[in-house]
Amino acid sequence: MKFTIITLFEEALRPYLESSMMWKAQDKGLLEIEFVNLREFGLGPHKSVDDTPYGGGDGMLLRCEPVFNAVESVKEKDPEAKVILPTPAGELWTQKKAREFASPISKSQHYIILCPHYEGYDERILSIVDYKISLGSYVLTGGELPALIIIDSIVRLLPGVLGGETSAEVESFSEDGIIEYPQYTKPAEFRGMKVPEVLLSGHHEKIAEWRKANTKRAEY
């Protein structure tokens, strides 16, 4: 799976994508990350990418020209690449959506994540967007954090990324809510708090029963 991130703040994204699981996934050849600097497509001597809104109002909006040119530069090499726009006005990102994006059909998919900044973007930019995604009902300063969350939640589901085969399956979020049973590691007793006896028993059936009985289902 490949992600091309169009951003003005590559330096904010690199540390996370070059750490831990995201790095391992790239090392194993399961993930490719490419950055495109939106500034390179900026206009005039200042390489400007934004301007004031028609009709007045506060703030600056991303202009069409730099964004279209940046997206087209990627699509020239891969016309099949799909464009994701993080925006609070998008469809809510859920575990179900992450699963769809990580499904075997889209495993070799190439996604372009276009990170807006400033107060917003020119509405005409939506004409080149395939998926508008919201991370939740709050407003962030840009698309960089959403890009990291979208990538992380998809990549951890790709077969071979997580250590244990079942790690991604026995996860907290399922299609119908949040489900998880309590888990413990060594020591068996810590500051008076004991690990439930059954988990130390080695009795697989009883452990499975205990886990089932203690599975928590949270509101979503």
Among the listed residues 114, 135, 148, 162, the single contact to ligand ADE using CB under 6 A: 135
Give 77's strand partners.
none
**Residue 139 in the binding site for ligand ADE (CB under 6 A):** yes
Return the ∠ at Cα 84 (arms to 165 and 157), rounded to 5°: 5
Binding of residue 42 to ligand ADE (CB under 6 A): no
- Nearer to ligand ADE by Cβ, of 23 and 118: the residue is 118
The reply on whether position 87 binds ligand ADE by CB under 6 A is: yes
Q: How many CA atoms lie within 13 A of 89 on its CB side?
A: 6
User: Which of 44-52, 81-89, 97-105, 175-183 is the region at the interface with ligand ADE (rule: CB under 6 A)?
Assistant: 81-89
Question: Is residue 120 close enough to count as binding ligand ADE by CB under 6 A?
Answer: no
> Residue 54, interface with ligand ADE (CB under 6 A)?
no
Q: How many residues bind ligand ADE (CB under 6 A)?
A: 11
Candidates 57, 136, 160, 187; binder of ligand ADE (CB under 6 A) is 136
CA 71 to chain centre: 19
Binding site for ligand ADE (CB under 6 A): 86-88, 134-136, 138-140, 143, 146
